[in-house]
Structure 1
Amino acid sequence: MYGKAVRLERIVNRATGRSVIVPMDHGVTLGPVRGIRSLKSTVDAIASAGADAAVVHKGAAIFGHRGYGRDLGLIVHLSASTSLGPDPNNKVLVATVEEAIKLGADGVSVHINIGAEDEAQMLSILGSVSRSCQEWGMPLMAMMYPRGRRISNEYAEEFVAHAARVGAELGADIVKTSYTGDPDSFSRVVEGCPVPLVVAGGPKISSEMDLLRMVRDAIDAGASGVAIGRNIFQHESPSIITRRICAVVHRGYTPEEAMGITECCSASAN
């Protein structure tokens, strides 16, 4: 579909076929936490540093196509829950594909927790959104996580692979899911997911080198990029960490080489 292909090119780097996506939809889930109290300054930092796209809710869509500086793909997140609710795993629909189109979005995303108590309702949401995306030529990123009482380890290969496959089977163009901890197991997750797969950043990682190693290992295992939120926007310099991650994803840098990127030499890293 031509419209979808055009929009995907605003999310996926044309030269590498990979993406560095920065989810910043956490304001609904967690509130105005550090790093996204001022969305504008953080969006400006990651855009100038080379990020391909950002994920925000509809009320923050103004920070996608900013009207200045480097272009940044806009993915409008359609589902939500809060950490204060009785069941944070239950994601409900809070926006539509049609709203995202009116906001100038390049893509939409939904969050689905496989194994949660309300899995059936979330799968229904995914199916409905996927249908609308097909109708309107809108790229869909499905954030697929294994979470619930029957999930003994949400990073286990069998659960992550199942969650990723569900997203692909139900029409996602890109699947975001957790890293399983090693390249061998994650390569099998990628093999079982017939659409591009991007790896989530997960909880805040204390060591930047560990983060870059995870990114490198995921790419080597066949991932089509990353979708990293807190480990970027809560970094002491979102600009520098974005440049380092982009260097690993798009330029093939090793973690050690990427750590050599600093603000003073960052212009050459784009």
Structure 2
Amino acid sequence: MRPNTKARMNRLFSKGGCLDVAIDHGVCNEPSFMIGLEDMPAVMDTLIGARPDAIQCAYGQADLLQARPEKDKPALVMRIDMGNPYNDQRHKVMWSMLQNADEPIIGALEMDAAAVVVNLFMLPDEPELFRQCIENISRVRASCEKYGMPLMIEPLVMLPNDERGGYQVDGDADKIVTLTRLASEMGADIIKADPTDDPDDFHRVVQAARVPVLVRGGGKEDLKNVLIKSAAIIAQGAKGMVYGRNIYQHDNPKAIVAALMSIIHDKASGEEAWDIYNRG
């Protein structure tokens, strides 16, 4: 941990791990992601009440969290880039850009964020998109170093668009480990990594990172399976999760947060977490 990031990192990892609930999906311009996020004040109110370690959103929604007076509210993780790889149809031009190229983290500083997050896309046949991500991270890294802001890098290895429709996660451990290592080499303080197809391979991702790794959730799945896989990945050394649709698109987000927090902070098994969810 770099000394000048310690105060903010402590806000995220005060209990040793971190559940970061992502609701930054509005920057993806994908209608299916917005199901469950229509009423953002209500969503934020529910999540603050559920008490995860952090809530991840972009600048335009951050006031809903940071205007709250509670001292023990979740920390803010701010998304500071946006791109177009999430739609079902491949775009003629693929791009990723910072929301403020001149002062990349100024909004995060204004909103007293505990960390910022930036994508590192690895899509088939899209070298220019990859180059843009490298440039974005380089700019953000310099700003983060200057102001003591932790940088979360999100390395995303995706399948060809025509393979499953809409760029989907490629769970190949070798590819995830390699891109994670690149994120580490670029100076990530936290890495948000895709799960490997075999959860037992995830220790390789942790080893490549050398910084806290939070596993990415992806699309909504059967909840019991999510809990079982999450526990397996935590057992492999992950420090927590960044989950969005697997929380906010369910009927009882508070119960899911409680179940996931038990896995991260109490080392509950997937079955034990499932029981906690059902009691919620």
TM-score normalised by length of structure 1:
0.89
Q: What is the SS of the residue equivalent to 2:237?
A: coil
Whether 1:178 and 2:206 are equivalent positions in the alignment is no
Paired residue for 1:71, among 52, 61, 73?
Answer: 73
Give the match for residue 212 of structure 2. 196
Of residues 111-120 and 209-218 in structure 1, the stretch that sits farther from structure 2 once superposed is 111-120
2:224–2:274 CA contact under 8 A, matched in 1? yes
After superposition, the Cα gap between the structure-2 partners of 1:43 and 1:87, relative to the gap in structure 1 and judged at 3 Å, is farther
2:200–2:232 CA contact under 8 A, matched in 1? no
Q: Distance in 2 between matches of 1:164 and 1:188?
A: 10
Paired residue for 1:122, among 126, 133, 154?
Answer: 133
Q: What is the SS of the residue equivalent to 2:63?
A: helix
After superposition, the Cα gap between the structure-2 partners of 1:251 and 1:240, relative to the gap in structure 1 and judged at 3 Å, is same
Q: What is the SS of the residue equivalent to 1:175?
A: strand
After superposition, the Cα gap between the structure-2 partners of 1:3 and 1:188, relative to the gap in structure 1 and judged at 3 Å, is closer
Q: What is the SS of the residue equivalent to 2:44?
A: helix
Of residues 102-111 and 23-32 in structure 1, the stretch that sits farther from structure 2 once superposed is 23-32
Cα deviation for residue 99 of structure 1 reads: 2.2
The aligned length equals 261
Structure 1 residues 44-123: aligned runs within 5 Å: 44-69=45-70, 70-82=72-84, 83=86, 86=91, 90-95=95-100, 96-115=104-123, 116-117=126-127, 118-123=129-134
2:256–2:277 CA contact under 8 A, matched in 1? no
After superposition, the Cα gap between the structure-2 partners of 1:244 and 1:66, relative to the gap in structure 1 and judged at 3 Å, is farther
1:142–1:167 CA contact under 8 A, matched in 2? yes
Cα deviation for residue 149 of structure 1 reads: 5.5
2:184–2:208 CA contact under 8 A, matched in 1? no
Q: What is the SS of the residue equivalent to 2:154?
A: strand
After superposition, the Cα gap between the structure-2 partners of 1:99 and 1:219, relative to the gap in structure 1 and judged at 3 Å, is same
2:66–2:111 CA contact under 8 A, matched in 1? no
Unaligned runs of 5+ in 1: none
Cα deviation for residue 26 of structure 1 reads: 0.6
Whether 1:231 and 2:232 are equivalent positions in the alignment is no
Structure 1 residues 135-146: aligned runs within 5 Å: 135-146=146-157
Q: Give deviations 1:210-258, integer Å, cap 9, x for gaps.
A: 0001110110011111001110110111111111111111111112212
Q: Distance in 1 between matches of 2:155 and 2:17?
A: 19
Give the match for residue 40 of structure 2. 39
Q: Give deviations 1:143-176, integer Å, cap 9, x for gaps.
A: 11113659x9711011100111111110111001
Q: What is the SS of the residue equivalent to 1:105?
A: coil
% identical aligned pairs: 26
Q: What is the SS of the residue equivalent to 1:64?
A: helix
Give the aligned residue type for 1:111. Answer: N
TM-score normalised by length of structure 2:
0.86
Q: Distance in 2 between matches of 1:88 and 1:52?
A: 37
Name the Cα RMSD after superposition: 2.3
Q: What is the SS of the residue equivalent to 1:9?
A: helix
After superposition, the Cα gap between the structure-2 partners of 1:88 and 1:102, relative to the gap in structure 1 and judged at 3 Å, is farther
Cα deviation for residue 66 of structure 1 reads: 3.8
Give the match for residue 253 of structure 1. 268
Q: What is the SS of the residue equivalent to 1:128?
A: helix
Give the aligned residue type for 1:204. Answer: K
Q: Give deviations 1:92-138, integer Å, cap 9, x for gaps.
A: 11132122101221111101102433111210111110111011000
Q: Distance in 1 between matches of 2:203 and 2:211?
A: 13
Q: Distance in 1 between matches of 2:42 and 2:176?
A: 34
Q: Give deviations 1:60-79, integer Å, cap 9, x for gaps.
A: 11122242444111111111
Give the match for residue 24 of structure 2. 25
1:114–1:148 CA contact under 8 A, matched in 2? no
Q: Distance in 2 between matches of 1:25 and 1:113?
A: 17
Whether 1:147 and 2:158 are equivalent positions in the alignment is yes
Unaligned runs of 5+ in 2: 164-168
